[in-house]
């Protein structure tokens, strides 16, 4: 009898969706609305690192909670795993030609055109803008009266993005642009407005908040198109360093430039994606710092040292984005052919969602996940590209990640150098889902004890 053994075959992929809760869709919807992290963590404990859910918004989608599976999703082809399609909910504001909404080769073309504006050499010039916007904001804070840091940070980050993208400082057009951006976002960034937007999945109909939003978006568009027309004939567009001018000069491999419509959508994308997210990240970081005196004291100490660097500050920002991810999850819709993920084969049409919120709370990656402990980012086994994912990943990773991290470090440093804030509440703020982001429910209310230091 022959002793030769046949090669052991690896387990065949299962041509089915992963298991998941059998609860009615309505119950699952309520779970996602009222206690998303608890609901997802309970499902993960029961079904494992890849789970199928169904809600009123989407009858079947697959959530992913494990670094190797996340890597497989991030490394999948952009033609097969479509982030643009998953981002369709943003179309009413950013437009269908936005880099956020495109897929495949069209997406890569737009992304390549925008990328240089966010390279290291461009970023260095933006830091001065970030610092002076922080100073102006701090100078305007009331002394001894409670105010919401989130709102203050929204104006600050809007100021920064308008200046760096449009390159105009302190004039009336810039102020009008800021006003119109906030006005257009206001109806959709309040609780009910965002739910309406989600329900309609990009197909706007009649209705109070929606009609108001459409009117304000038209007013914003009008200003942007006027600005595009003005800039196209400006004599100095060749020398200007702002993102807008760089986009006007940009050419793809075939020598084509961006059309007015494409420019409009990209400018709005940068204005919207580039300010609310960073403002929310900043508000959360201050909330965590003000409720964790040990970390705040160490950070102040590190920042005051002559020989110090930004390592601890950087770790603070990263830990805040871990514990309070601004965007809790991202999506990719499977197209063209079924996608093999681990031992499962995900059919076409199904959306795969790496959960940033759950990934950031895995106890094997982050011992004591509830603790705010920046030191974990300074240790030899610091979290990596597939365990720390506040900016998503792969060819869709956030284009503004370095910009946002630089802005957060610059603003935090300046606030700690100049101001003594104290929290109004003894407890940290609770999370509130607003559209695709998670914001502090009460906006992080604080009091400035005495006038800020100058210099």
* Residues 336 to 395 in contact with ligand HEM, rule: CB under 6 A: 390-393
CB of 189 or CB of 277, closer to ligand HEM: 277
CB 26 within 8 A of CB 56: yes
User: Is there binding between residue 67 and ligand HEM (CB under 6 A)?
Assistant: no
Pairing state between β 431-434 and 437-440: antiparallel
* Residues 195 to 234 in contact with ligand HEM, rule: CB under 6 A: none
User: Is there binding between residue 327 and ligand HEM (CB under 6 A)?
Assistant: yes
Q: Of 133, 134, 273, 446, which one interacts with ligand HEM (CB under 6 A)?
A: 273
Q: Of 152, 277, 285, 365, which one interacts with ligand HEM (CB under 6 A)?
A: 277
Rounded to the nearest 5 degrees, what angle is found at the Cα of 63, between the Cα atoms of 26 and 333? 95
Q: Of 111, 212, 240, 433, which one interacts with ligand HEM (CB under 6 A)?
A: 111
CB of 246 or CB of 404, closer to ligand HEM: 404
* Cα–Cα distances in angstroms (integers) from residue 50 to residues 13, 18, 68, 352, in the given order: 14, 6, 11, 10
Tell me how far, at minimum, the Cβ of 408 lies from ligand HEM, in Å.
7
For ligand HEM, how many residues bind (rule: CB under 6 A)? 25
User: Is there binding between residue 109 and ligand HEM (CB under 6 A)?
Assistant: no
Tell me how far, at minimum, the Cβ of 14 lies from ligand HEM, in Å.
26
Instruction: Write the secondary structure of 276-328 as one string of H (helix), E (strand) and C (coil).
Output: HHHHHHHHHHHHHHHCCHHHHHHHHHHHHCCCCCCHHHHHHHHHHHHHCCCCC
Q: Of 292, 403, 428, 434, which one interacts with ligand HEM (CB under 6 A)?
A: 403
What does the alpha-carbon distance between residue 328 and residue 356 come to, in Å, rounded to a whole number? Answer: 5
* Residues 89 to 108 in contact with ligand HEM, rule: CB under 6 A: 99-100
Phi, then psi, of 431 in degrees rounded to 5: -85, 145
What does the alpha-carbon distance between residue 81 and residue 76 come to, in Å, rounded to a whole number? Answer: 6
Tell me how far, at minimum, the Cβ of 243 lies from ligand HEM, in Å.
8
Q: In what order do the strands lie in the sheet with 445-448?
A: 147-148, 445-448, 421-423
Q: Of 245, 269, 387, 438, which one interacts with ligand HEM (CB under 6 A)?
A: 269
Cβ of 90: how many Cβ atoms within 10 Å? Answer: 21
Q: Helix, strand, or coil here: 54?
A: coil
Task: Return residues touching ligand HEM (CB under 6 A).
Answer: 83, 99-100, 111, 269-270, 273-274, 277-278, 281, 326-327, 330, 390-393, 396-400, 403-404
């Amino acid at each position: 009898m022959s002793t030769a053994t046949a090669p052991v075959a690896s387990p065949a992929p299962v041509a089915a969706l992963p298991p998941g809760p059998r609860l009615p869709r309505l119950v699952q919807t309520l779970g996602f609305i009222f206690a998303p992290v608890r609901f997802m963590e309970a499902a993960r404990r029961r079904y494992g690192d890849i789970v199928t859910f169904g809600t009123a918004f989407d009858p079947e989608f697959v959530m992913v909670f494990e670094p190797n599976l996340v890597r497989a999703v991030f490394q999948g082809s952009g033609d097969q795993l479509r982030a643009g399609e998953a981002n369709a909910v943003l179309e009413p504001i950013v437009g269908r030609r936005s880099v956020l909404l495109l897929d495949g080769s069209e997406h890569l073309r737009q992304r390549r055109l925008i990328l240089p504006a966010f390279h290291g050499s461009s970023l260095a010039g933006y830091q001065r803008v970030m610092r002076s916007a922080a100073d102006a904001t701090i100078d305007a804070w009331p002394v001894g009266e409670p105010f919401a840091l989130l709102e203050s940070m929204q104006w600050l980050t809007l100021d920064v993005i308008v200046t760096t993208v449009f390159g105009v400082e302190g004039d009336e057009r810039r102020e009008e642009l800021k006003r119109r951006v906030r006005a257009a976002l206001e109806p959709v960034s309040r609780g009910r407005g965002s739910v309406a937007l989600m329900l309609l999945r990009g197909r706007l109909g009649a209705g109070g908040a929606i009609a108001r939003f459409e009117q304000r978006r038209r007013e914003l568009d009008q200003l942007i198109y006027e600005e595009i027309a003005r800039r196209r004939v400006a004599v100095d567009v060749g020398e200007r360093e702002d993102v807008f001018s760089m986009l006007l000069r940009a050419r793809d491999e075939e020598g084509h430039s961006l059309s007015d419509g494409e420019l409009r959508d990209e400018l709005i994308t940068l204005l919207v994606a580039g300010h609310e997210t960073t403002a929310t990240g900043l508000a959360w970081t201050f909330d965590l710092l003000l409720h964790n005196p040990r970390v705040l004291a160490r950070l102040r100490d590190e920042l005051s040292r002559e020989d110090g660097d930004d390592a601890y500050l950087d770790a603070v920002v990263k830990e805040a984005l871990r514990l309070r991810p601004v965007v809790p999850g991202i999506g990719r819709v499977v197209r063209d052919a079924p996608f093999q993920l681990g031992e499962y084969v995900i059919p076409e049409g199904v959306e795969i969602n790496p959960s940033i919120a759950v990934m950031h709370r895995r106890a094997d990656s982050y011992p004591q996940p509830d603790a705010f402990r920046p030191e974990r980012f300074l240790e030899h086994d610091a979290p990596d590209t597939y365990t720390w994912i506040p900016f998503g990943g792969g060819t869709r990773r956030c284009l503004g990640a370095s910009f946002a991290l630089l802005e957060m470090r610059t603003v935090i440093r300046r606030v700690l150098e100049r101001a003594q804030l104290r929290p109004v509440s003894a407890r940290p703020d609770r999370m509130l889902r607003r559209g695709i982001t998670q914001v502090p429910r009460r906006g992080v209310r604080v009091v400035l004890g005495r006038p800020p230091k100058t210099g």
